[in-house]
């Protein structure tokens, strides 16, 4: 007789119900907190109201880089995102924050599904397939919660980056290129991944992304702002955000965005440069970080110099991990993009190409999970860059996994 509580996928129905109820409870609780922060809190501990203020500036024809919320946080994104936020000015803060939250939750769910499908939904057994959705989310849950409750655009960035790889690996380079361009137009630093696609000679994808980037930064905003004002906005963003971020610590300190964004002393800035500066207080922190990230890039290229289909996603995941470490500002909520590397490692742990690589992937996930839990325990821990160093270790694990897969492909199983 077939046990009705043990379906074909091997997961008892009561476990599914518990997971579903816990997920629903978490979504509702986070939603209440997120909307309260935006609409009812005396201190607006949210970025949504900043985005909404920028959308209102677009509507009123005022300077988007003078827009700020009641807490004084200024708009720091390129011009296209301000246009995207205009519809939220047509509703109250309550309804706007609620809809923005619902969109964020849907984007997370979509990103999780895409990451799971990329990582081995078709190779992992039905009994273990559900773990491809659960494990990656649990391992980055601290950063997801931070991004969601603060109304951060990092959730949209997460979806754009994963969608770019998802459609790229399925040969839909137009969709993938459009998403990749959208990611760059939102936060700029994903442009670092253009080196990966060019190196892999993904010319159609790269061409679509560059054309969309030009249209999205110049042509489309010009229809709203006018050509001259759009160019002025681009220059304003470069002068107020990009240039100070790339300058030395003394120059950053003179920027009005220093306290909000640029100060390397901020614990939630987990870029390699910021962490090294906090640990050493050295004026050479940028140079040291540049050397280290350069060595990491070289190692990635060297290990993956010969394209092999079964390790391509591993290399892409290593590139995503590396990308998070390079910018001078990389706040902890940016690290939600580790969803893809986590999914790849979970896929390898559940359906290993070799027993040794399966054990290696499982150990990596366990270590990262423990370190990630410690990294969210307090600002004093973040000050020392625990998340940053965990990401460096994650990158090293992915490169090692790519090298081991090379050995398997070549007929020399990794031991």
Q: pLDDT tens digits for 26-40?
A: 999 999 999 999 999
Quick check: 308 pLDDT over 90?
A: no
pTM: 0.92
CA distance 339 to 160: 12
State the Cα–Cα distance between residues 253 and 244, nearest whole angstrom.
9
Residue 334 structure tokens:
């940016």
Higher-scoring residue by pLDDT: 357, 225: 225
Helix or strand or coil: residue 22? helix
Query: Which pLDDT score, from 0 to 100, does residue 283 have?
Result: 85
- 8 Å CB contact between 77 and 23: no
Higher pLDDT, 11 or 328: 328
Q: What is the pLDDT of residue 412?
A: 44
Nearest to 403 by CA among 341, 360, 342, 368: 360
* Among candidate residues 111, 185, 120, the one with its CA nearest the CA of residue 144: 111
- Phi and psi of 369, rounded to 5°? -60, -45
Q: What is the end-to-end Cα distance of the chain in Å, rounded?
A: 43
Q: What is the pLDDT of residue 157?
A: 97
> pLDDT per residue over 342-382, tens digit each?
999 999 998 877 888 889 999 999 999 998 888 877 777 78
Residue 129 to residue 133: CA distance in whole angstroms: 8
SS3 74: strand
Helix axes 141-149, 355-375, angle to 10 degrees: 40
Please list, in sequence order, all residues whose beta carbon lies within 8 angstroms of the beta carbon of residue 85, skipping any fewer than 6 positions away.
51, 52, 54, 55, 58
Any alpha helices (H) in 85-202, and if so which ranges?
Answer: 93-119, 131-139, 141-149, 154-169, 173-187, 194-199
Average pLDDT over every residue of 54-65:
96
Percent of the chain with pLDDT over 70: 93
Rg of the Cα trace of the chain?
22
Cα(359)–Cα(104) distance, integer angstroms? 34
Specify whether the CB–CB gap between 149 and 37 falls below 8 A. Answer: yes
* Residue 291 contacts residue 282 (beta carbons within 8 Å): no
Who has greater pLDDT, 63 or 283?
A: 63
- Identify which has the larger pLDDT, 140 or 122: 140
Mean pLDDT of the 287-294 span = 96
Task: Name beta bridge partners: 331.
Answer: 269
CA–CA separation, 46 vs 213, rounded Å? 28
Is the pLDDT at 58 greater than 80? The verdict is: yes
Mean pLDDT for 279-304 is: 92
pLDDT at 155: 97
């Amino acid at each position: 007789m077939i046990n009705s509580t043990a379906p074909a996928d091997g997961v008892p129905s009561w476990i599914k119900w518990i997971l579903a109820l816990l997920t629903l409870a978490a979504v509702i609780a986070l939603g209440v907190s997120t909307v309260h922060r935006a609409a009812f809190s005396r201190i607006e501990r949210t970025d949504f109201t900043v985005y909404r203020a920028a959308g209102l500036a677009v509507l009123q024809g005022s300077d988007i880089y003078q827009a700020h919320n009641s807490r004084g946080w200024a708009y720091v994104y390129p011009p296209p995102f301000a246009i995207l936020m205009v519809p939220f000015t047509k509703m109250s803060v309550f309804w706007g924050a609620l809809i923005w939250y619902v969109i964020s939750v849907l984007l997370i769910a979509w990103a999780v599904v895409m990451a799971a499908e990329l990582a081995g939904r078709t190779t992992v057994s039905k009994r273990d397939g559900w773990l491809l959705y659960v494990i990656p989310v649990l391992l980055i849950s601290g950063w997801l919660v931070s991004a969601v409750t603060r109304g951060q655009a990092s959730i949209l960035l997460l979806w754009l980056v994963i969608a770019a790889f998802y459609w790229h690996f399925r040969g839909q380079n137009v969709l993938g290129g459009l998403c990749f361009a959208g990611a760059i137009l939102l936060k700029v630093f994903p442009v670092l991944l253009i080196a990966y696609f060019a190196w892999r000679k993904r010319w159609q994808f790269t061409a679509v992304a560059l054309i969309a980037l030009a249209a999205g930064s110049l042509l489309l905003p010009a229809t709203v702002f006018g050509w001259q004002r759009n160019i002025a906005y681009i220059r304003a963003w470069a002068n107020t955000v990009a240039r100070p971020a790339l300058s030395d610590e003394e120059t950053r300190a003179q920027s009005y965005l220093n306290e909000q964004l640029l100060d390397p002393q901020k614990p939630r800035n987990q870029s390699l440069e910021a962490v090294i500066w906090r640990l050493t207080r050295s004026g050479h922190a940028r140079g040291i970080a540049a050397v280290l990230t350069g060595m990491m890039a070289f190692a990635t290229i060297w290990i993956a110099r010969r394209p092999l289909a079964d390790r391509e996603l591993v290399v892409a995941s290593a590139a995503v991990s590396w990308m998070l470490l390079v910018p001078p500002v990389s706040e902890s909520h940016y690290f939600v993009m580790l969803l893809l590397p986590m999914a790849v490692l979970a896929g390898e742990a559940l359906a290993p190409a070799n027993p040794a690589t399966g054990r290696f992937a499982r150990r990596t996930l366990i270590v990262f999970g423990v370190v990630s839990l410690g990294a969210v325990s307090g600002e004093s821990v973040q000050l020392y860059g625990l998340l940053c160093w965990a990401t460096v270790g994650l990158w090293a694990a992915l490169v090692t996994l790519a090298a081991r897969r090379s050995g398997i492909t070549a007929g020399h199983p990794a031991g």
